[in-house]
A and B are shown apart, each in its own frame.
Chain A
Amino acid sequence: MNTEQLIGALSRDLKPVRRYAVGRRLALGVVAGALVSAALILLTLGSRPDLWLAMQGSTFWVKWGYTLSLTVAAIFATARLARPDPGNLRPLWWAVVPVLLLATIGVVELMRTPSTNWLGMWLGHSWHVCPWLVLLLAVPIFIGLLWSFRRLAPTRLRAAGAAAGLLAGASAATVYCLHCPEVSAIFVLTWYSLGILLAVLGGALLGPRLMRWR
């Protein structure tokens, strides 16, 4: 086919594109994946028995505030890197703000607690499974994002993979809050963040392979 014929064929195939199409598509991938993750955790380990009660307290919202704000930051990062010209990536440093806020809360909590209890606060009851469960729950969401990316056009594949990993990890952590009864900020800061970080690493590793497009 010569180029002129190709141009004719392409312009006959034109359909309008809605505004914010990239954001919509990413959101769809995340929500679909997160529903699968939520079903997984609720059907196997169940929600925390006091979920309703906890949602009326502040610690639950500290956790959700942390994971949700990371999710929002990750959506922006991913939407940028899903375009061929990501442009200036410096605004993405805003993602450290939730981490710093949570660290501040953690320090305040530690100061209010006798130092003999610090280790217990830090390790909780589930430190050895928490990062792995977050990583596991990130898998369906990452798969959902791979679906989103099939129509997108990243050119910095490793960075795009890492951003998608962050998005999958942060939203997986949001889902995991439905089950996890831990309360201390330093627990979340350490073990949730570790699980999210593993998802980022996994995304960076897989991005160049799975996000290449033609």
Chain B
Amino acid sequence: MPADEQQLRAWMIGALDGDAADYASLLRTLAPLLRAFYGRRVVSGGDDIEDMVQETLIAVHTRRATYDRNRAFTAWLFAIARYKMIDHFRRSRREVPLDELEGTLIAEDSTTDSQAQRDVDELLKTLPPKQAGAIRATRLEGMSVAEAAAAGGIGESDVKVSVHRGLKALAARIRGTAR
């Protein structure tokens, strides 16, 4: 729902005068607005974004007296949202020492890597050996088509066709399991 400045401001002024219905409409409209705001700026995603949305809604509530009825509402809102974003990351950085964080990231990275490796192995096993070998050689080990052909003792066009058919079969299988 696109919400315009005028509508938000009218709700906010209603809320300042004590109208709970206006206030609930306001907050309900702000939640997706803030989600989009943080979604555009934060890559870590998910929980972080929802945390910040909630923190900002609470700040809108506790600091609502600082809204000046004669000025733009969205400017006020996004100034709070920006402050909350900086505050959020400053705090989460303080809670995890930088060295440790780096260790965690590397560890997480390597587990996802080896997991991906296992998945690929699992998938290649389902293909005929010739296709699996051709894909492994050209796509995972970085050989050229000529090198793969020489290594496998088959023709270059055979390698290309094998890779093509193999990838097509894998794609079909992945789509099938995703469904």
Contacts and interface: CB of A to CB of B under 8 A. Distances in A.
Interface in B29-81: 31, 50, 53-55, 57-59, 61-69, 71-72, 75-76, 79-80
Contacts of A22: 65-66, 68
Contacts of B27: 7, 10-11
Interface stretch (B11-19, B99-107, B121-129): B11-19
B24 A84 contact: no
Contact of B23 (A6, A11, A155): A11
A208 to B, nearest CB: 11
Interface stretch (A13-21, A108-116, A132-140): A13-21
A214 interface: yes
A74 interface: no
Given A14-B18, A14-B20, A14-B23, A3 B50 contact: yes
B76 A85 contact: yes
A15 B18 contact: yes
A87 B70 CA distance: 12
A152 B61 contact: no
A12 interface: yes
B82 A155 contact: yes
Interface in A9-47: 10-17, 19, 21-22, 25
A153 B23 contact: no
B63 A84 contact: yes
B87 interface: yes
A8 B59 CA distance: 15
Nearest to A16: B18
Nearest to B90: A212
A152 B62 CA distance: 9
Contacts of A21: 65-66
A96 to B, nearest CB: 25
B57 A10 contact: yes
Contacts of B87: 212, 214
A155 B83 contact: yes
Interface in A125-184: 151-153, 155
Contact of B76 (A10, A83, A152): A83
A142 B68 CA distance: 24
A37 to B, nearest CB: 26
Contact of A155 (B20, B64, B79): B79
B28 interface: yes
A12 B31 CA distance: 17
Contacts of B72: 85
B80 A84 contact: yes
B59 A153 contact: yes
B66 A6 contact: no
B10 to A, nearest CB: 16
Give the 7 A-B CB pairs with smallest separation, nearest first.
Answer: A16-B18, A84-B79, A153-B63, A21-B65, A85-B79, A11-B24, A7-B27
Interface of B: 15-18, 20, 23-24, 27-28, 31, 50, 53-55, 57-59, 61-69, 71-72, 75-76, 79-80, 82-83, 87
Given A152-B63, A153-B80, 19 more contacts: A3-B31, A3-B53, A7-B24, A7-B31, A10-B23, A10-B27, A22-B68, A83-B66, A83-B67, A83-B76, A84-B63, A84-B83, A85-B76, A85-B79, A87-B71, A151-B62, A151-B65, A212-B87, A213-B63
Interface of A: 1, 3, 6-8, 10-17, 19, 21-22, 25, 82-85, 87, 151-153, 155, 212-214
